[in-house]
Amino acid sequence: MTLATAAAQAPAGVRFRPAHVAWALLALAVLLTLLRPALPDGIVRPPEWLVWPISEGLNRFFDWLQNDVGFSVVTRGFAAAVGWLLDLASALLVPTRRGYPLPDVVCQNIGLCTGHAIPWTIFAITGFCVGTWLRSWKLGLLCGLTFVYLAVFGQWQWAMQTLSQVAVAVPLSVALGFVLGALAWRKQWFEQVLTPLLNLAQSVPHLSYLIPVVVFFGVGDHAGVIATVVFATPPMVRMTILGLRKVPPEVIESGQMCGATRWQVMRHARVPTARAEILVGVNQVIMQCLAMVVIASFIGSPGLGDKLLNYLQSLRIGSSIEIGVSIVLIAVMLDQLSRAWAEKQPVHWERGTPWHVRHRMLLVWSGLVIAALLATLAHDYAHEIPRRKAISTKDFWDAGVDHLLAWLSAPAAKVRDFLLLQVLTPIRDAFQYPPFLAVLAAVAAVGWAVGGARSALTVVLLIAFLAVSGWWDRSMITAYMVTVAVVLAVAIGLPVGVWASLPRPSRGSPGWWFNQAVRMLGILIVSAVGAAAVVFVLETVVPPTPAVEYSLFLAALAAIAYGIERYTRDVTRDRFLLFLCDTVQTFPSFIYLIPVIMLFQVNDVAAIAGVIIYGTVPMLRYTVEGMRGVPASLVEAAEMSGATRMQKLRTVSLPLALPTIMIGLNQTVMFSLMMVIIAAFIGTQDLGQEIMRAKALSDVGMSLVLGFCVAAMGLAVDHVATRWAAKRKKALGL
Amino acid sequence: MTLTTRSIAAAAIAALTCSAPALAQESTDPIVIPTHNWSSQVVMSHVVGQIFEEMGYTVEYVSTDSQAVYEAVRLGDVTLELEVWEGAFGVAFSEALEKGGIVDAGDHNAVTREEWWYPLYVEEVCPGLPDYQALNACADKFATPETAPKGRFLGGPVDWLKHDQERVEALNMDFVVVNAGSAAALWAELAAAEKEGRPIVLFNWTPNFIEALYPGKFVEFPPYEEGCKDDPAVGPNKEMTYDCGNPANGYLKKAAWDGMEEKWPAAYAALTKISFTNAQIAEMAKLVDIDEMEPEDAAAEWLEANEDVWKPWIE
């Protein structure tokens, strides 16, 4: 299809050739595949002379770096510095960590080292006040309730461990990202060096750089923070470059006219003008840091991620879900706070406004904090709720998951057998059958069709790395799983995304009634689950009589349903969908891998199902974004010329949204590649499994080479998709 | 400055508490104990950590990968390792011993076993178990669509380096080995199979919390003999290796960083005396997995209930 469009698009004459070359390459690929039985082994699979000992080389290089150059002194010193920062952060949040990082004199004078953490009540109050001040009482309530949840559900200590790592990792990533971004913006050559490194850092799966981090920085929370920084910095760099580049020259000139030095122009003109982009970068950093919470615990970070893995290990799904909810709440809270901060404009007060009006929120906050401190004197629970006294809904979730599995197991078995035998196994064989030269030819054809010789060379070199690294067969299994997952994710995400962004049907029309019915059903289900959880929690505190329990359930149901109905009345489908995307994206993927195994057993169906859940998110998101971005004037024009809804969609909205949707597809591929590696925890035979093996063997080189294989596939798809989308956008005049 | 205050404080503590002998010579750095992702090891680490704290040390816990930990012990990043399983980590441990930096700190009074295992209800559909030939005779009962007509054996993660595939070939069994990606994946399948009453045979080990949740038995393979894994002549199949089960009485060792004895002599002395039995290890796991306590609380409770066991180790 790509080929067809490219061919159709090419104007007669000059650009006629690329399509021909692409077709020729494709024909070569088909020919080679058909001739496979007659071909020599060296064409079917990478011959031995082609496979370079890259991982051995890398290992020797790292050995040399560590032992002969003494690089480990630097890395260990850096690790110690990060450790000191962590000590400092946890002295405020969780004083269970060893000692205090400050000299005794400082300790005694500022009361940092009393051995008491800041009471949870103060966090809740501060969250409420900051949220209200930055945006609205709704955000304030969200922040306050997040801390209440963490405290009341016994997650406090772990959450504070996680937060203390986030508190170190975020500023480090932001600072590093800003400095690198500013350098790249200033020096062309630096950007040219940095860009491929950024692409690599974002497409190498996190699991494969854990081992190098362990070797250079050791194990523990500092290692977790360093791995997190590697993962979280690239978006900050990108946003900094983007922001600084967008600063209009007028702003700079006016600064220079005032006689500002270069530093002053940077500090007072460039950075404030690029504020919005830089703050989006900060927001991205925060989200990336939280996405790493579970992964970082593989190399010794304590906190929510570590507990989550331990709970999953002993199959305590209910407890894991509670932790998952904690992570989502923290992520949503920090995401919203940082966005609100980015959007908040400075407030200007009229001259003569009294101090207490200008600082009303500060006064409210101080008052509440004093009240909270008094409360801690009255009762210990206002300071800390011990885990044993905390309430928990874990049995509720366990029972829920049990019911759901019992319900679904019979149909799931049918689906599994069908998919495995009729769909997946044939596709898998099909991916393994073609000679590797045929695959390269096909890849070159796609590259040529999209961007001519240059693109063809780029993608061929990337994919050839799979052959050269010696992991061709494993890579093809990864490719097959990702392809199936992406096709299914598009099949789900595209229609749902398009549906969600259709204009709202007018009130009273059949479509409107249908929407209302769906919405009410959804509200009813959610409130029933919520009410059951409320009753369950009450049961564990004071066992009520059945009659009381029944009426309690109904009351809770009515209250929750009313609340959701009121709150979501103005929420459009697309906004609701985006909310759902945010939740799924921050919910730790490890949790739903377990129920998926229980349904489908350990096999490719389970692994692909796990990948789809995660991979559909960007497809949905970008479809909604793309449809939103279609100029209303064009849709109106189509309407005026009498197009039906379907015609409008087919001939105007979809083609115009397609470039953005293609970016979504690209992101879906990237997400799926990351997730397919995590699916190794279910049990796969692809690169992910080998990365796990490299992790067990502490083999740095092998781990990195496998990571590069995944990155090579991701970068090739990325190249093709962005090229195509850019060309398309230009053609559409967007 | 801080150091002097610290050592003065340490000396004062030593002078005040007569039960901590000669602590002034000991390092005040924390002893770093690694924890892994199975509960008995986590609780045992906390038990030992709390014993060390009782002796006046500071202790820090860090969760690490159970294979990568030997590298960390060698480098001194973590101080010791409390559960060295012969079957799972024997290779990694002996490799680390060869490289140097790690010492063998003695055995626990426990035996470990890692083997093919089935939940008890499987005996109803497959009489003659736990013998492996009986298992092979009803291989079709364990078949799934993708393995049919052969049976399906759910092995542990490939990085545990078991040789199930070789064994299936050497003993000519009608089974396909499917590797789960993690222990959690093993238990998830077991839990689902048990609910449906579906026959299943999978990799398992003892001591392990799963024994308390799901009663079951190990499959009996030709007994392990020295050399069976390298020498084709040993074992029933004279042409192939791996024609035997895993050792039914594998060791469970403790390991330590080779600088530990010098840095924390009293703690090292205690470590060499520490020894837990299978029953004690199972009990620790039970406190967390069945009674759903947090590991540190479980360790405190165990210590309180078993003073007669651990007090002699620190005297």
d(CA A598, CA A595): 5
Domain match, A86 and A235 both: yes
Window from A518-527, A592-601, B11-20, B102-111 with minimum mean pLDDT: B11-20
Residues A376-392 have pLDDT tens digits of 777 777 777 877 777 77
The residue assigned the tokens 């993660």 is B157
Write the CATH number of the domain with boundaries B113-218. 3.40.190.100
Domain match, A576 and A562 both: no
- Of B5, B158, B188, Cβ closest to residue A598: B188
| Paired tokens of A449 | 């069709």
Task: Answer yes or no: is pLDDT of A595 > 60.
Answer: yes
Residues A37-85 have pLDDT tens digits of 888 887 888 888 888 888 889 889 988 887 788 788 888 888 889 988 8
Assigned domain for A509 exists: no
For chain A, say whether B61 makes contact (Cβ under 8 Å): yes
d(CA B12, CA A139): 52
| Paired tokens of B43 | 């609780």
> CA–CA distance from B108 to each of B88, B104, B251 (Å)?
16, 12, 8
Domain match, A305 and A289 both: yes
Domain count, chain A: 3
For the beta carbon of residue A291, count every other beta carbon within 10 angstroms.
21
Residues A245-259, mean pLDDT to the nearest whole number: 85
Domain match, A563 and A581 both: no
Residues B211-241 have pLDDT tens digits of 778 889 999 998 888 888 888 888 788 888 8
Residue A696 belongs to domain with CATH number: 1.10.3720.10
d(CA A91, CA B107): 38
For chain A, say whether B209 makes contact (Cβ under 8 Å): yes
Task: Report phi then psi at B81, rounded to 5.
Answer: -140, 130
d(CA A593, CA A688): 15
Residues A706-716, mean pLDDT to the nearest whole number: 93
Assigned domain for A656 exists: yes
Q: Label residue B249 exposed, middle or buried (CB < 10 Å: 0-12, 13-18, 19+).
A: exposed
Length of chain B, please? 315
Task: Answer yes or no: is pLDDT of B62 > 70.
Answer: yes
- Of B92, B159, B292, Cβ closest to residue A693: B159
Residue B289 binned pLDDT confidence (cut-offs 50, 70, 90): confident
Task: Report phi then psi at B121, rounded to 5.
Answer: -65, -15
Domain match, A178 and A324 both: yes
d(CA B55, CA B266): 8
Range of the domain at A96: 71-117+153-345
> CA nearest A596 in B: which residue?
B188
Q: Where in chain B is the domain with CATH 3.40.190.100?
A: 113-218
Residues A690-705, mean pLDDT to the nearest whole number: 85
From the centroid of its chain, how far is CA B144?
31
Q: Do A313 and B65 touch (CB under 8 A)?
A: no
Q: Taking phi first (over 0 means left), then psi (-120 to 50 degrees means alpha), and beta for anything else, what does residue B36 get?
A: beta
Task: Answer yes or no: is pLDDT of A135 > 90.
Answer: no
Are the CB atoms for A439 and A463 separated by under 8 Å?
yes
Alpha-carbon dihedral angle through residues A648, A649, A650, A652, given to the nearest 10 degrees: 60
Assigned domain for A134 exists: no
Q: Give the H or E element holding residue A545.
A: none
Identity of the amino acid at A83: G
> CA–CA distance from A88 to each of A84, A204, A330 (Å)?
6, 31, 21
Q: Label residue B255 exposed, middle or buried (CB < 10 Å: 0-12, 13-18, 19+).
A: buried
d(CA A526, CA A517): 14
| Paired tokens of A546 | 């059945």
Residue B50 binned pLDDT confidence (cut-offs 50, 70, 90): very high
The CATH architecture of the domain made up of B27-111+250-314 is 3-Layer(aba) Sandwich (3.40)
Buried b (16+ CB within 10 A) or exposed e, A564-574: beeeeeeeebb
Identify any residues that bridge with B202 across adjacent strands, giving them in sequence order. B117, B154
Q: Chain B interface, mutation test: which of A75, A313, A677, most B Cβ atoms within 10 Å? A: A313
Domain match, A560 and A596 both: no
Residues A656-692 have pLDDT tens digits of 888 888 888 888 998 899 899 888 888 888 898 888 8
Residue A183 binned pLDDT confidence (cut-offs 50, 70, 90): very high
Domain match, A533 and A618 both: no
Assigned domain for A146 exists: no
Q: Chain A interface, mutation test: which of B146, B160, B162, B201, most A Cβ atoms within 10 Å? A: B146
| Paired tokens of A616 | 């559909």
Q: Which residues contact A285 (CB under 8 A, 6 or more apart)?
A: A170, A173, A174, A177, A232, A233, A235, A236
Domain match, A552 and A577 both: no
For chain A, say whether B91 makes contact (Cβ under 8 Å): no
Q: Which residues contact A610 (CB under 8 A, 6 or more apart)?
A: A589, A592, A593, A596, A675, A678, A679, A682
Residues B7-28, mean pLDDT to the nearest whole number: 51
d(CA A129, CA A367): 11
d(CA B314, CA B271): 9
Domain match, A298 and A198 both: yes
Domain stops at, among A309, A324, A345: A345
d(CA A726, CA A347): 40
Residue A116 binned pLDDT confidence (cut-offs 50, 70, 90): low
d(CA A31, CA A96): 67
Residues A568-586 have pLDDT tens digits of 777 777 888 888 888 888 8
Contacts of A602 in chain B (CB under 8 A): 154, 178-181, 185, 189
Q: Label residue A345 exposed, middle or buried (CB < 10 Å: 0-12, 13-18, 19+).
A: exposed
Report the candidate in A718, A687, A719 with the shortest Cα–Cα distance to residue A705. A687
> CA–CA distance from A60 to each of A66, A350, B72 (Å)?
10, 68, 19
> Percentage of chain A with pLDDT > 70?
94
Assigned domain for A6 exists: no
The residue assigned the tokens 């042409």 is B239
Assigned domain for A52 exists: yes
A vs B: CB pairs below 8 A: 151
Task: Answer yes or no: is pLDDT of A405 > 50.
Answer: yes
Task: Report phi then psi at B257, rounded to 5.
Answer: -65, 140
pLDDT at A104: 59
Q: Chain B interface, mutation test: which of A403, A427, A596, A597, most B Cβ atoms within 10 Å? A: A597
d(CA A165, CA A310): 19
Fill in the DSSP letter of residue B131.
Answer: B
Q: Do B159 and A420 touch (CB under 8 A)?
A: no
Give the mean pLDDT of chain A.
85
For chain A, the C-alpha Rg in angstroms (whole number) is 28
Task: Report phi then psi at B76, rounded to 5.
Answer: 80, 5
Q: Do A601 and B72 touch (CB under 8 A)?
A: no
Assigned domain for A383 exists: no
Residues B127-150, mean pLDDT to the nearest whole number: 88
Q: Do B159 and A312 touch (CB under 8 A)?
A: no
Task: Answer yes or no: is pLDDT of A6 > 60.
Answer: no
Domain match, A486 and A534 both: no
Are the CB atoms for A441 and A43 separated by under 8 Å?
no
Q: Write the DSSP assignment of A424-443 as a string of letters.
A: IHHHHHHHHSS-HHHHHHHH
pLDDT at A113: 53
Residues A420-439, mean pLDDT to the nearest whole number: 90
Report the candidate in A689, A617, A603 with the shortest Cα–Cα distance to residue A419. A603
Assigned domain for A314 exists: yes
- Of B62, B146, B179, Cβ closest to residue A425: B146
Task: Answer yes or no: is pLDDT of B45 > 90.
Answer: yes
Q: Chain B interface, mutation test: which of A540, A698, A703, most B Cβ atoms within 10 Å? A: A698
From the centroid of its chain, how far is CA A489?
16
Identity of the amino acid at A135: R
Residue A102 binned pLDDT confidence (cut-offs 50, 70, 90): low
Distance from CA of B42 to the nearest CA of A (A): 9
Contacts of A595 in chain B (CB under 8 A): 188
Task: Answer yes or no: is pLDDT of B119 > 60.
Answer: yes
Q: Where in chain B is the domain with CATH 3.40.190.10?
A: 27-111+250-314
d(CA A317, CA A329): 18
* Helical ranges in A314-393 per DSSP H: 317-343, 355-358, 360-378
Q: Do A219 and B62 touch (CB under 8 A)?
A: yes
pLDDT at B153: 94
d(CA A195, CA A188): 11
- Of B62, B68, B78, Cβ closest to residue A698: B68
Domain stops at, among A284, A317, A345: A345
Q: Do A98 and B158 touch (CB under 8 A)?
A: no
Identity of the amino acid at B110: A
Q: Do A681 and B78 touch (CB under 8 A)?
A: no
Distance from CA of B131 to the nearest CA of A (A): 25
d(CA A18, CA B163): 52
Three-point CA angle A696, A698, A700, nearest 5°: 130
pLDDT at A138: 85
Q: Do A103 and B2 touch (CB under 8 A)?
A: yes
Are the CB atoms for B152 and B143 separated by under 8 Å?
yes
d(CA A74, CA A375): 48
